[in-house]
Amino acid sequence: MNRNVILDPIHGYIEFDELKSSLFDTPQMQRLRRIKQLGFSNLVYPGANHTRFEHSMGTMHLASLFTKIQRENEVSISAVTDYDGLDEIVVAALLHDIGHGPFSHATEKLIENYTRKSHDDVRGILSETEVGDVLRDNGFKPSRIAEHIAGKTPVSQILSSEIDVDKMDYLARDMHYTGVTSGSVDYIRLLNHLEYFESKLVLDAGAIRAAEGLLVSRYWMNVSVYYHHVSRISETMCSRACAYLLENKIVRPQEFARLDDTSLMSIMRADDGFAGEISTRLDNRNLYKRALYTGIDSIGLNNIFEQRNHVARIEKEIAENANVDPENVIIDIPSKPAMAEMKALVMDGGMKKLTDASLFVKDLESVQVANWKMGVFTPKEHLEAVSKAANNYFEIDLKPKMKQSSLTDLLENE
């Protein structure tokens, strides 16, 4: 079988055969070249222009390494699959992001609300497009690949679980392109110490330190990139503009889900209303400002996470109290802080969660909560009025917190 190679800045040379080459060349895969992996994070980190396409190749590469390790070590995986199933996982890894909408996570929730499909529900794409033709011509069932991508098969845990090849690649890749170097992703060690046990993908004790490194990487990427306030503001602005396009039937939901970054921005720029205004702001990095930006401890309302289902109503109420147009108030309430990787299973004198196998990871679990922030954003000219209204609505505790002692103070008081 003929094999070719692609030079990747993260993994070096990546091998691919005729099947992978044919999948690369489908319009559905080529579309991923025009979808940024990190949405609008390049407004903070100018180098963050990498795409879903290269991430998909990297994920495929790591899945290939895993299957190679399984075969070379003659690992018994009959409880979850056979070796043909491993070949399916490599294909699924290449295609796993084919359902993403424009600007990746910036439009994900909106697409789910309108189409009732998540980005990993790719049955239609795989069965009805050129991708499906390539799969069938090479003896693969599109429905089976779709099940792997959706995480519905035991073997798919290597692609979709607490510690998987998807996370290994995007963390290493995102750190490279943003320049954030805290932590490490030792994917070679992780892949060599992952195995199936009673139909569950588990780490053995030899990979605990590598798992800790991955979690440190995830923590710093959360703080520095994924939840950076500029990233959150710009993505929330984009999502709000897209909601306007869909509500006014300027673009249909199914068509919207298949757009790429370039085509979406073209539609936004052509609009003479709210979406057009937002596109101009995004183009010129003239973003909304933080009228409110605070953590869980400062919010007086009970269970702030329940408010995520009522954002539109809250935005309208705050706008009315601030005497501004509703489009001038945008709220971002992230989901409850959690890192799925902490729930990974470890075989260390018995089966246990990673948080029980590592005191370091257990401590990291509480630290991430302290870094959670929600925001209310508005144009600069409305900052004072919206800030007052938002603080009143969320019953923000403005009492000064106890000053944290410095290390010198602590030592002097001993």
Q: Where are the domains of the chain?
A: 3-227+351-357, 229-336+370-393
Select from 332, 373, 316, 370 the least CA-distant residue to 233: 332
* pTM score: 0.90
Please give the Cα distance from 52 to 32 (Å, whole number).
5
- Both structure tokens of 300: 């007086």
Identical fold between 3-227+351-357 and 229-336+370-393:
no
pLDDT of residue 90: 95
Cβ atoms < 10 Å from Cβ of 261: 22
Measured CA angle at 142 (ends 136, 147), to 5 deg: 155
- Low-confidence residues of the chain: pLDDT under 50: 79, 400, 402-414
pLDDT of residue 353: 87
pLDDT of residue 323: 97
> What CATH number was assigned to the domain covering residues 3-227+351-357?
1.10.3210.10
pLDDT of residue 404: 46
Report the top-level CATH class of 229-336+370-393. Answer: mainly alpha
pLDDT of residue 74: 65
pLDDT of residue 77: 54
Q: What is the three-state SS of 53-106? A: HHHHHHHHHHHHHHHHHHHHCCCCCCCCCCHHHHHHHHHHHHHCCCCCCCCHHH
